Amino acid sequence: MTFWVVRAGKHGENENYALENSVVAIGWEELGDITTIKDREALQHLFGETYPDENIATTRMWTGEVWALKERIQKDDWVALPLKSRAAIAIGRVVGPYKYVPNAPHDAKHQRPVKWLRTDLPRADVEQDLLYSLGSVLAVFRVQRNNAEERLAALAQGKVSRKPAPAKGSAEEPDQEAASIDLEQFAADQIISYIGRKFRGHDLARLVADVLSAEGYRILLSPPGADGGVDIIAGVGAMGFDGPRLVVQVKSSDSPAEVSVVRELQGVMPRFGAEQGLVVSWGGFKDSVLRESRQLYFTVRLWDAGDLVNAVQKNYQRLPAATQAELPLKQLWALVLD
């Protein structure tokens, strides 16, 4: 069993294309169609001719990524696409050979066809060591560390995956596959893991309320227990009477929310005199919810774990001292070179 990661652009710009067209796809389209390239040395030579201003170390790395997509990835291999647009991972199996698609979007013309099995696996459901292995900034790479291939395949099939205990007296090998880590995503995953353990049920709603309060809303938080479909009522102004008025439903379950959750919130919005709604689902959302949400853009927003972490980071200095003590974070500045 072999498991690969293939990204969809530095910022996830081709995620929707990959999912909707059942492919994994990468850039370097200036190479043109490489179907007739028969060995890695020939591909390296083509890279040198196509990108003469790049140093040889860079073109060798790029050659390895493109060659992996074209030749090393085999039919029936597993493939993961960590999503940038939401805190989730898509997993599927490769079903065909390399192809070059000239009319595909920019940076998506080199492709392999894929049958997607899951497109909504929450990052919160994936253990930290696996997220670390998935965290390389490379466009194409294989994951193997800590029995990653079997564990990711289990997650794709809805099974529970746990990190194997190291053999007595053994030490883990150095991590070679994630030598170039996306530190920002790695830090966000750590925060997601911590919040997932420390803020469950009503405590997660309390954290969301603190974030909204930091953004300038006057908040009414429902007590624990039955809430009538609304966990938080929020307004602006000195007394909270002014608009826009917002109602919030918070789901702390690890399972992706169904479209019924959004429709239920829509149904109660008029009862509370609210013009806007927010659904916070720690486990993310089913694809059907995301498709429907486009039509509700001006009335309903969806936050998954990643969105909530982004909001916490943006407002952290304005959160109550007690909340900061429960969720101790520190901003660090680091030099990042391409």
61-75: b (≥16 Cβ within 10 Å) or e: ebbbbbbbbbbebee
Q: How far is the C-alpha of 80 from the C-alpha of 93, rounded, in Å? A: 9
Percent of the chain with pLDDT over 70: 92
Note the CATH architecture for domain 3-163+174-181: Roll (3.10)
Q: How far is the C-alpha of 175 from the C-alpha of 334, rounded, in Å? A: 22
Residues 303, 310 contacting (CB under 8 angstroms): no
CA 210 distance to own-chain centroid: 24
Among 106-115, 199-208, 227-236, 307-316, name the one with the lowest average pLDDT. Answer: 227-236
Q: How far is the C-alpha of 8 from the C-alpha of 5, rounded, in Å? A: 10
Q: How far is the C-alpha of 7 from the C-alpha of 12, rounded, in Å? A: 7
Amino acid at 324: Q
pLDDT in tens, 61-108: 999 999 999 999 999 999 999 998 888 999 999 999 999 999 999 999
In sequence order, what DSSP letters do the residues of 109-177 get, joined into one string? -EEEEEEEEEEEEEGGGS-HHHHHHTTB--SEEE--GGGHHHHHHHHHTT----PPPPPTT--PPP--T
Q: How far is the C-alpha of 209 from the C-alpha of 188, rounded, in Å? A: 20
pLDDT score, position 174: 38
Q: How far is the C-alpha of 162 from the C-alpha of 154, rounded, in Å? A: 10
Q: State both tokens at 324.
A: 């900061």
Residues 255, 118 contacting (CB under 8 angstroms): no
pLDDT in tens, 148-199: 889 998 888 887 666 655 544 443 443 444 446 777 888 888 999 899 989 9
Q: How far is the C-alpha of 25 from the C-alpha of 203, rounded, in Å? A: 40
pLDDT score, position 191: 93
User: Which residues on adjacent β-strands are paired with residue 289?
Assistant: none
Domains 3-163+174-181 and 199-326 belong to one CATH topology: no
Q: Which helix (H) or strand (E) holds 44?
A: helix 40-50
The radius of gyration of the chain's CA atoms, rounded to the nearest angstrom, is: 22
pLDDT in tens, 278-287: 999 999 998 8
In 3D space, the residue among 281, 317, 86, 334 whose CA is nearest the CA of residue 188 turns out to be 86
CA 33 distance to own-chain centroid: 30
Mean pLDDT of 310-315: 95
In 3D space, the residue among 182, 100, 109 whose CA is nearest the CA of residue 141 turns out to be 182
pLDDT score, position 171: 38
For the chain, the first-to-last Cα distance in angstroms comes to 33
Mean pLDDT of 112-132: 91
pLDDT score, position 177: 47
Question: In which band, very low, low, confident or very high, does the pLDDT at 133 lie, cut at 50, 70 and 90?
Answer: confident
Amino acid at 208: V
Percent of the chain with pLDDT over 90: 65
pLDDT score, position 162: 63
| Domain residue ranges in the chain | 3-163+174-181, 199-326
User: pTM for the complete prediction?
Assistant: 0.74
Alpha carbon separation from 265 to 24, 140, 193 (Å, rounded): 35, 40, 27
Q: How far is the C-alpha of 301 from the C-alpha of 278, rounded, in Å? A: 5
Please state whether 116 falls in left (phi above 0), alpha (psi between -120 and 50) or beta.
beta
Give the strand pairing for 232-236 and 242-251.
antiparallel
Helix orientation angle between 305-315 and 183-198, rounded to the nearest 10 degrees? 100
Give the strand pairing for 3-6 and 218-221.
unpaired
Q: Which helix (H) or strand (E) holds 242?
A: strand 242-251
Q: State both tokens at 268.
A: 């109660």
| Domain 199-326 sits in CATH 3.40.1350.10 | yes
